[in-house]
Amino acid sequence: MKELQQIPFQLGKEYENWEFDLEPVETTQTYDKYSYVNNEPQELFGIIATQVLLTFNLDILIQVEYQFDLKYFNLLKQRLQEILPVDTADQIDGEMKWENEEVVANLIRSKIAIFKITDKKYESYLD
C-alpha cells in the first residue's frame, strides 16, 4: 500500500537498522518481537504512539504495531480512511482491515487503539 510509505518503519528492512533502539519482548520459532525504545516520540499521522513494536523474521521486518491511547481511535480511523482505498476496507465490530496482495493493515479497538501493518507473506507466522 503505497499510501502507507510515510510510516518510518518500512516492511522488508533489516534488523540492523534499529538494533540499538530495540528491547526484546517475545521470541518464537518464527519471529522475534521488539519494543522500539528510541528517546524520540514516534508519531503516526501526527499522533504520538505510546509504544511501537517491531516484529522480525530472520532479521527482516515483517510487522509494525503502533499503540495509542484509546481516545485517538476515531481520529486514527478517519486518517486511515483518508489515505487508504475505501473499497479495500472491511469493518467488523468497530475494527478496520485493509488488504492488498502485499500487506494487511488493521486498526483495532481494545483497551488501547492499535494500528498494525503486516507483510502478507509472513501473516501466518504471527498466528
Domain ranges within the chain, ordered by starting residue? 2-126
pLDDT, residue 97, reads 83
Asked: is 2-126 a CATH 3.30.1490 domain? The reply is no
Average pLDDT along the chain: 86
Q: Region 35-48: what's the mean pLDDT?
A: 89
Q: How confident is the model at residue 3 (pLDDT cuts 50, 70, 90)?
A: low
Length of the chain: 127
pLDDT, residue 65, reads 95
Contacts of 58 by beta carbon, 8 Å cutoff, 6+ apart: none
pTM assigned to the model: 0.88
Q: Region 100-126: what's the mean pLDDT?
A: 85
pLDDT, residue 99, reads 80
Angle at 92 between CA 72 and CA 52, to 5 degrees: 40
The CA dihedral of 37, 22, 52, 59, to the nearest 10 degrees, is: 160
Determine which of 10-19, 25-34, 106-115 has the lowest per-residue pLDDT on average.
Answer: 106-115
pLDDT, residue 5, reads 67
